[in-house]
Amino acid sequence: MMRLLKRQSIVSLVVTCLLLLILFSIEARTTRNNYKYDEDAEKKRVERNSEQEGERENEVTIKLPLQDVNFFILTDIILMNGRGGNNNNDDDSNNNDHHVDFGDILSFYQRLKENLDDTKQDLWFVMNGGFVHGSMLGKDPSTALVSTLEHMPYDLVTLGIDEVESSETVELLKQPDGLIDWWGPNLITSNILVNSTKRSLGNQYKFLKGKAATILLFGFLLDDDLMTMSDLLIHERLEKTLEEPWFRDVLEGDNFNMVLVMTQTDNNSSLLQTILRRIRNIVKKQMPVQFVTGRTGKRATNMVGGDARAYSIEAGGYLDTLGFVSIDLKKKQLFHHKKQLFHHEFIDTNKKTFGVILNRTEYMTPDGTELGKYIHRTIEAAGGNEIIGCSPRRYRAANPLKSDDSLLRLYLNNTVSRGLLQHLDSSSSEEKGDKKEDENIVEKVEDVVNEAVEKTKEAVTGAVEKGGEIIDSEDNDEIEKEKREKKENNNPNHHNILLQRIEGFVKYDIFQGVITMNDVYVTIPRDDTIQKVAYNVKGKTIKSLREHLSSNKK
């Protein structure tokens, strides 16, 4: 009996398994048939999902990391009206999202500050210098710029090299009711003195008291051997300022929670570590130190000297970036070395980004709207909206000469080559009259760089002096031939040596579409100076000079 029951159980189990296999087979065939039947619908679904994914990738999804203390930072702006967000790759110059000015910046700041009014968080607005030059408002001296900057509610301001080079600009800043008076205690110039009084141009330091913290502020113009300074001012060397009694006294206090240092220098400059070491010699190691740098126009951050409590940020330039930094000052964060105190964001200055961050399509405030109108009126009155041409594509200032869209390449191949050579051709008669003067150019150079010229003469084998020209004796026949050809062609351009500084010369992109006079000021903010330094000098001589100077450096 037991054997019979066991046999029946085995048979039942086998039958059950067979039924399950049949059902799975039917379901699989049905699924395949259904898939084949809905294949077109499936393709549409995949295409729809792909489109949605692409839309999500193109969305601006910036969320600012707001903390106890927050800073908006502008540096090296030199552009009051133009296309913001120069770092993104959109070539559509007619896209209104890219056309921003100080009115947009002001409105964005005011809206975000309103959102924080009922919190215990602070938001401070920093201007890190570099506001002279650029657009037609920033011409030197920048008369039209004063009224524009007076509309900006900066909490902290320091000066860069552009602001202290020209005496005309310095006098404009210092005049009664000018920007220095307007900024008052918010202008920090820790090592810039007025020559006539030997006192600080602005304030040496400041305590900025907010809801969440009190911040000790410094503003340094760092040492630069190539920098020129107006005779109206004195640039005190950094090392001297750091050893001043007032600097130690203010750091020895216990009435602040962090230190902010503003300076116009490269974000990786070793001078930042020099300042940090001096600060660390006086204050506790947990004290956060935030550096705000500038001058190169790049977006960059760095932990200074390997110190986890010291952070530097450079917020782009040319009004393409609004820098944002926030700091968490809670005690548990300060004493926890692995915790990140500083957070940053580089905000593209365009209308779409501003709207997304604020979560509103219309963000302009009455103050920002009025400032935008004032800027446009001023540029229009100055002739900045005059149309002078049309660009078939976007030319980029940052791209190397070998790139087809290099703005510097366009400038050298078109503007310089045509304008300069045309000028030389038109002055051919004057060139003939000045030939004797040109032939003595080396003697003139000797008065300035006598030692360098003597070394050059020694380095060029077989060179002889003839009428002030350096001529290789082996090439006399060739030179005479070229002189005859030059005379026949009445072309004064042969063997002219011209010197022009092109590094960092073009500052901003030329966009596709209409080009105005203001665009030219934005692209090339400084005078285009070309110096003629020699006449009738052979290429071999220049090559020998270069090799000689290179060997001396080694």
Asked which of 385, 412, 439 is the last residue of a domain, the reply is 385
pTM: 0.70
Residues 161 and 181 reside in one and the same domain: yes
pLDDT at 552: 59
Q: What angle do CA 441, 443, 448 make, to 5 degrees?
A: 95
pLDDT single digits (tens) 214-238 = 999 999 998 665 567 899 999 999 9
pLDDT at 551: 67
Asked if the structure places residue 30 within a domain, the reply is no
Asked if the structure places residue 33 within a domain, the reply is no
Residue 83: Cβ-neighbour burial (10 angstroms; 0-12, 13-18, 19+): buried
Give me the count of residues in the chain: 554
Asked if the structure places residue 470 within a domain, the reply is yes
Query: Residue 120, CB half-sphere, CA atoms under 13 Å: how many?
Result: 6
The answer to whether 212 touches 327, Cβ cutoff 8 Å, is no
Residues 86 and 223 reside in one and the same domain: yes
CA 230 to chain centre: 24
93-113 burial: b if 16+ Cβ within 10 Å, else e: beeebbebbbbbbbbbbbbbb
Residues 300 and 444 reside in one and the same domain: no
Q: Which domain holds residue 293?
A: 69-385
Residues 354 and 392 reside in one and the same domain: no
**Helices and strands per DSSP (H, E), number in the chain:** 21, 21
**Domain tally, the chain:** 2
Asked which of 341, 365, 385 is the last residue of a domain, the reply is 385
Asked if the structure places residue 41 within a domain, the reply is no
Residues 483 and 381 reside in one and the same domain: no
Residues 418 and 444 reside in one and the same domain: yes
Backbone angles phi, psi at 260, to 5 degrees: -120, 125
Asked if the structure places residue 407 within a domain, the reply is yes
Residues 266 and 347 reside in one and the same domain: yes
Asked if the structure places residue 52 within a domain, the reply is no
Asked if the structure places residue 254 within a domain, the reply is yes
CA 321 to chain centre: 8
Residues 368 and 453 reside in one and the same domain: no
Query: Domain of 366: which CATH number?
Result: 3.60.21.10
d(CA 241, CA 247): 7
pLDDT at 213: 94
Residues 354 and 499 reside in one and the same domain: no
d(CA 464, CA 139): 47
Asked which of 324, 351, 385 is the last residue of a domain, the reply is 385
pLDDT at 258: 95
pLDDT at 536: 64
The answer to whether 421 touches 514, Cβ cutoff 8 Å, is no
Residues 173 and 271 reside in one and the same domain: yes
Q: What angle do CA 207, 209, 213 make, to 5 degrees?
A: 110
pLDDT at 32: 39
pLDDT at 172: 86
pLDDT at 87: 42
pLDDT at 501: 53
pLDDT along the chain (554 residues), means of 10: 48 45 42 41 49 48 87 80 45 58 94 93 94 63 74 94 86 88 95 94 96 96 74 94 96 94 91 96 93 90 92 90 91 63 92 92 95 88 86 88 86 67 50 44 39 44 40 52 54 50 69 86 69 64 70 56
Residues 242 and 342 reside in one and the same domain: yes
Residues 139 and 263 reside in one and the same domain: yes
pLDDT at 422: 53
Asked if the structure places residue 31 within a domain, the reply is no
pLDDT at 531: 58
